[in-house]
Amino acid sequence: MAEEFKRLKRELVAKGHIIDYYHDTMQIPNGNIAEWDFIKHRGAAAIVPVLEDGRILMVRQYRNALERDTLEIPAGGLNPDEPTDRAALRELEEETGYRCDKAESLISIYTTVAFCNEKIDIYVARNLVPSHQHLDEDEFIRVEAYSVEELQEMIYQGKLQDSKTVGAVLAYACKYGK
């Protein structure tokens, strides 16, 4: 079906710190021309940090787009040429103050397929070792720990809505039987 769509033009509208915004002119299967928005993202990585007692470390931080705090798994954008497993481990230490030597692949998601190509590779970290946070100047993060069951209940109650976190918690629960 993709061969029935043809991009005629892509124009950069704005270049941002983490995204670029484009205006696409597309020819669609019926021959008509459509104007679509496209957000280009460099990609991201996230991690499910599991403590010895089975609880998952979460980060609570303010999100400007929602104008409120959110509860999420640690995550962040990729540096140039950085493998996603390394990025996930970097974000683990930066945001939670714990480190780990190895990340196990859990799931990959595209966050908003209608207009954005952001892909997040999500990993699991075990055998966590206390270290210290390395927060950016604009980051204010509180680290909290929850059982998988508590996180699932928050999802079902609509209290936990971040898509990467919802996907990660449910995939983790499915894979590890929690």
Give the tens place of pLDDT for each residue, 92-144.
999 999 999 999 999 999 999 999 999 999 999 999 999 998 888 888 999 99
123 shares a domain with 73: yes
For 12-55, write each residue's pLDDT tens digit: 999 998 899 999 999 999 999 999 999 999 999 999 999 999 99
In angstroms, the CA 106 to CA 48 distance is 9
137 shares a domain with 62: yes
148 shares a domain with 99: yes
Structural domain for 166, as ranges: 42-176
148 shares a domain with 109: yes
In angstroms, the CA 85 to CA 136 distance is 20
143 shares a domain with 172: yes
80 shares a domain with 20: no
Q: Dihedral of CA 83/178/55/71: which sign?
A: positive
83 shares a domain with 13: no
48 shares a domain with 109: yes
| pLDDT band, very low/low/confident/very high, at 2 (cuts 50, 70, 90) | low
Question: Has residue 154 got a pLDDT over 60?
Answer: yes
Give the residue from 12, 54, 43 showing the smallest Cα distance to 118. Answer: 43
48 shares a domain with 77: yes
Number of domain units in the chain = 2
94 shares a domain with 7: no
Q: How many CB atoms lie within 10 A of CB 99?
A: 18
Reported in sequence order, the residue ranges of the chain that DSSP labels E, i.e. its strands, are 6-15, 19-27, 33-41, 44-49, 56-63, 68-72, 75-77, 98-99, 103-110, 119-125, 129-130, 142-146
Q: What's residue 139's pLDDT?
A: 82
Q: Is residue 62 within 8 Å of 140, Cβ to Cβ?
A: yes
Residue 149 annotated among the catalytic residues of the structure: no
109 shares a domain with 139: yes
Q: What's residue 1's pLDDT?
A: 56
Name the active-site residue from 94, 137, 144, 153.
137
Please state the pTM of the whole predicted model. Answer: 0.92
